[in-house]
Structure formats: structure tokens, C-alpha cells
Amino acid sequence: MFSIGTLAKRTGTKVPTIRYYEQIGLMPEPGRTEGGQRRYDAAALDRLAFIRHSRQLGFSLDAIRELLDLSDSPDRSCAQIDAVAQRQLSDVEARIARLEALRGELRRMIRDCNADRVSECRVLEVLRDHDECLASHDEPGG
């Protein structure tokens, strides 16, 4: 049995985050000592490690919840799990494409700025007028 502090150290997760995961149902409510301290078992440690690693890979809390629910049925096809992972991959690839467009735009702004004075600065000119950009780099929903 582990205390919340031990669980936090073993998984690299902050104590408030563990409590939050309990509040939203990603982590089950732990058992408690007579003094009211939380006590976690090896299954809770494994589950939290799974959640932590999933978050590091960029999965949303909803996707993690879906993966955890699916993992509770080990005899089912993993096609749904693959679909969740594929959605995450698609999101990552879209973010990479946006970041590459941003990198290109920033490089172009800097390269094209040959001014000696702020009043002639190409970087500031482009930042003032989005139409000067060659690529779209709006955030979705922004």
C-alpha cells in the first residue's frame, strides 16, 4: 500500500493532480486509514502510470477515459483502441504541420528584415498585417 506522496513520487505526478483524477473519476477513490489518509495499491500505481504516460503523449482526459474503459474488457477487439490512437496521431500531425508553417513564416519574416530602423522593420510589418503572411497559421477555434 502506498501513500499519495509515494504514489506521486513513483509516477512523477503532483499530489493535486492525483486528487483531481480522483474527482473526475479517472482514478478510483482510494481506501483510507483510520486516520483518513489515502492508501493506494499496485493497481492504482499502474493506472496512474498509464494516465501519466498517456498525458505525456498528448491524449486528452476524455480519450484516456475511453482507453481505460476499453481496457476493462480485455476480450474485446482492440480496433476501438487503435481508433483512439489514430485520432491522437492525426491531431499530432496537424499540430506539426501548423508548427512547420509557423517556423517557415518566422524564418521568412526574419530573413526579409534588412532594415536598420524599427520604422522599416519587416518583422513588425508582418506582425501588424496578417495578410502579409504566406501561410495560414490560425489556431483551430481561435
Percent of residues, the chain, with pLDDT higher than 90: 55
Q: Which pTM does this prediction carry?
A: 0.75
Distance CA 141, CA 76 (A): 35
Task: Quickly state the pLDDT bin for 142 (edges 50, 70, 90).
Answer: very low
Q: Is the pLDDT of residue 36 over 90?
A: no
Residue linked to cell 487503435: 82
95 vs 120, higher pLDDT: 95
Q: What is the mean pLDDT of residues 128-138?
A: 68
* Third-level CATH fold of 4-61: Multidrug-efflux Transporter Regulator; Chain: A; Domain 2 (1.10.1660)
Q: Is the pLDDT of residue 124 over 70?
A: yes
